């Protein structure tokens, strides 16, 4: 069974967020199949099973470290809820600097 991408979203960093333009805020930037340059920015994406056909695949891909290939690690609280992401890779690659450079 082949699949066709009908919606794609990337988490982008708005590095000029906040009243003083000095805060970082993550947003989904979504593109739907057939939209040429249209994109929609939103804080959350809600997926409802009843709105998707059987066989739909949801995939989440984290950026991989360009030096060692590890995915960026989640930072978890005591209840295993994701509260952030590691600033540096285990090999010392600087994820925060990478995001700053990519989205500035």
Could you list the residues that contact Zn ion (CB under 5 A)? 65, 67-68, 70, 89, 91, 93
Tell me if 85 sits within 8 A of 73, measured CB to CB.
yes
- The smaller minimum CB distance to Zn ion, of residues 7 and 91, is found at 91
For residues 38 and 64, the answer to whether their CB atoms sit within 8 Å is no
Cβ-based nearer residue to Zn ion, 28 or 98: 98
The least CB distance from residue 40 to Zn ion, in Å, is: 32
Q: How far is the CB of 15 from Zn ion (least distance, A)?
A: 22
The Cβ of residue 65 has, within 10 Å, a number of other Cβ atoms equal to 19
Structure tokens at 90: 């285990």
Task: Name the residue nearer to Zn ion (CB basis): 56 or 87.
Answer: 87
| Least CB distance to Zn ion at residue 13 (A) | 19
Asked if 62 and 72 touch (Cβ cutoff 8 Å), the reply is yes
């Amino acid at each position: 069974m082949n699949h066709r991408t009908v919606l794609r979203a990337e988490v982008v960093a708005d590095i000029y967020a906040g009243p003083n333009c000095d805060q970082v805020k993550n947003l989904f930037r979504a593109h739907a199949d057939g939209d040429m340059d249209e994109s929609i920015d939103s804080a959350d994406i809600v997926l409802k099973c009843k709105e998707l056909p059987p066989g739909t695949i949801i995939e989440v891909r984290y950026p991989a470290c360009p030096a060692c290939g590890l995915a960026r690690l989640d930072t978890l609280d005591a209840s295993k809820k994701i509260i952030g992401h590691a600033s540096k890779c285990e090999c010392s690659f600087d994820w925060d600097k990478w995001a700053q450079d990519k989205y500035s």
